[in-house]
Amino acid sequence: MESMYLSAITTAITIENRSLSFYSALSSKVTDIRTKRIFQLLAEEERSHLESCCDLFPGSEDELIELLFKSNMYADPYYCTLLDSVDENSDEKYALEISLKEEQACIERYSVFVDTIRVPHVCEVFSKILNETYRHGEMIADEYMRLMNMVDRTDQDMYVRE
């Protein structure tokens, strides 16, 4: 039980730390002011998620700092490649597509956490993050529709809420 709990917390910290960095970086890359504001809002909410997860971390402060340093987006080639591809495309649509995939991956991960973690205060934090992640996906999908001049979400096949 303890190892599953620690694994879930460290994974959540890693996810939230990378998402915070990712959305902060995207907000500086896009030119559409509304899309920029959405990425800024997402970064702020990811910061809140990260703080909640860090509060759950059972290790020492030094261990937490090491985890935060190692889980930074810039230390992960996958995220660096994604960020570089936004530079090359300079396209809000592409940035939103990547973001939606990121949120869907988070939904999958947090759904597992909520279903398997039985520590009430931890499950409560993960449930809150999961609900906000669904909302993030909806915001991103709405912004994508605006940019693509779509009528509603039925016009796009990239967003599916389970």
3-state secondary structure of 127: helix
- pLDDT more than 70, % of the chain: 89
- In 3D, which of 132, 114, 134 has the Cα closest to residue 49? 132
Residue 82 confidence (pLDDT) above 80? no
Q: How far is CA 112 from the centre of its chain?
A: 16
Question: 4: how many CB neighbours lie within 10 A of its CB?
Answer: 13
- For 53-74, the DSSP string reads HHHH--S-HHHHHHHHHHT-GG
Which CATH superfamily includes the segment(s) 2-155? Ferritin, core subunit, four-helix bundle (1.20.1260.10)
- Give 159's pLDDT tier (boundaries 50, 70, 90): very low
Lowest-pLDDT range, 44-53, 63-72, 142-151?
142-151
Helices (H) and strands (E) in the chain, counts: 6, 0
pLDDT tens digits, one per residue of 105-138: 999 999 999 999 989 999 999 999 999 999 999 9
Question: 104: how many CB neighbours lie within 10 A of its CB?
Answer: 19
> CA triplet 76, 54, 140: central angle to 5 degrees?
60
Residue 153 confidence (pLDDT) above 60? no
